Structure 1
Amino acid sequence: MKNVIDPFISLIYWPSAGGFGSNTNILETNIINSSVVLSVLIYFGKGVCASCILSNLLDNRKQKILETNRKAKELCKGAIDQLEKARACLRNVEMIADEIQVKGNSQIEREKEDLLNTASENLEQLEDPKNETIYSEQQRAFDQIRQQVSRQALRRAIGTLNSRLNTELHLRTIDHNIGLLRTMMNTND
């Protein structure tokens, strides 16, 4: 008990020691500090229980921790709800994207078929004039060949007639043709 009272006694005699000094004894300094804090609490507290203050501080801290925990749980629940909404939205967007892709592919196929059909029709339309042009060129070539053949035949015939025709045969042919002309004139009248 003497050890507990000694620091208080030394506190009383301390100002008469002539100034401030340092105390290197850890046990004595802790006791001095504790006694100063306790004295201040008793003086300013005057009937307020230190354990009540500490209990109130701890209760306030506990309430703040519980409130923070509750808010954190609410935020977590809200975040989970938002995550679920975002996932649902993502699923909807993926379904819409799949539909768009399917529609796009089918539209591409339709347009491809339409383009092929149009190209086929255009080819057919170009075939008709081409065939007509080929046919007309063939007819013109045939006509030219016929004219050349008939000219050659006429030249040969004239050449043959000139080589075989003498004056007497020539006169007989003229008389025969004149007779044919008279007969034709008489039948027309």
Structure 2
Amino acid sequence: MGTFLLLMAQASAVGGELAEGAAEGGFGFNTNVLETNLINLAIIITVLFVFGRKVLGTTLKTRRENIESAIKNAEQRAADAAKQLKEAQQKLEQAQAEAERIKAAAQENAQAASKAILDQAAVDIERLKAAGAADLNADLDKAIAGLRQRVVTLALQKVEAELQGGISGDAQKTLIDRSIAQLGGGV
């Protein structure tokens, strides 16, 4: 209330100075309190100051609490995000380590498979060489058997030709004795 009275006193002083200026001519203020509604303005300002202070204080207090709550929530979310980031980084490191282990195992498996394939290829080559040698020996045996057959056929043809031309008696006896000796009999 003291503030109100102070304001009223200052308004009267200013009003008096302006009234003096208005009397001289031109522009001026009306210092009549009832005509200017200063009392009404003072009552409204006082009511706003007394009751508005509580409402404004309550509103500001609520706003402050909301802001503090939002800050705490943001700090909590930031802490949670930092924790999740740390966990994600640990999982990433574990995944990278696992990937390196899998890569190393794959390289070892590839080397082992390569060695096994080379060993199997060497075994296959040896088997093919042996099969080729066996085929070559079989072909050689066939060729020798064919040549023997041809020699026998040619020998028989020559013998037949000589037989048709006739064999002397001594040659015939020698041939028969030799054939009997080969058969296991003896004379």
Stretches of structure 2 that go unaligned for 5 or more consecutive residues are 1-11, 16-28
Q: Offset at 1:116?
A: 2.8
2:48 pairs, out of 41, 54, 59, with 41
Distance between the aligned counterparts of 1:181 and 1:53, measured in 2?
149
Q: Go from structure 1 to structure 2 and tell me whether the alpha carbon gap of 1:131 and 1:155 turns closer, same or farther (over 3 Å shift).
A: same
Deviation track 1:32-67 (CA, whole Å, cap 9, x = no partner) reads 99668536537xxxxx55434433433332232222
| Structure 1 residue aligned with 2:75 | 73
Q: Offset at 1:179?
A: 7.3
Given that 2:33 and 2:39 are in contact with CA atoms closer than 8 Å, whether structure 1 keeps it comes out as yes
Counterpart mapping for 1:73-112 below 5 A: 73-112=75-114
| Structure 1 residue aligned with 2:57 | 55
| Structure 1 residue aligned with 2:130 | 128
| Structure 1 residue aligned with 2:22 | none
Stretches of structure 1 that go unaligned for 5 or more consecutive residues are 12-30, 43-47
1:144 pairs, out of 129, 143, 146, with 146
| Structure 2 residue aligned with 1:172 | 170
Tell me whether 1:9 sits opposite 2:42 in the alignment: no
SS at match of 1:117: helix
TM-score, reference length from structure 2 = 0.61
Deviation track 1:142-180 (CA, whole Å, cap 9, x = no partner) reads 1211232344355556667888x78xxx13334556777
Q: Go from structure 1 to structure 2 and tell me whether the alpha carbon gap of 1:4 and 1:77 turns closer, same or farther (over 3 Å shift).
A: farther
Letter in 1 for 2:45: L
Q: How many residue pairs get matched?
A: 159
SS at match of 2:48: helix
Q: Offset at 1:73?
A: 1.4
TM-score, reference length from structure 1 = 0.60
More relative contact order in 1 or in 2 (CA 8 Å, sep 6+)?
Answer: 1
Percent of pairs with identical residues: 18
Q: Offset at 1:84?
A: 1.0
Distance between the aligned counterparts of 1:41 and 1:54, measured in 2?
10
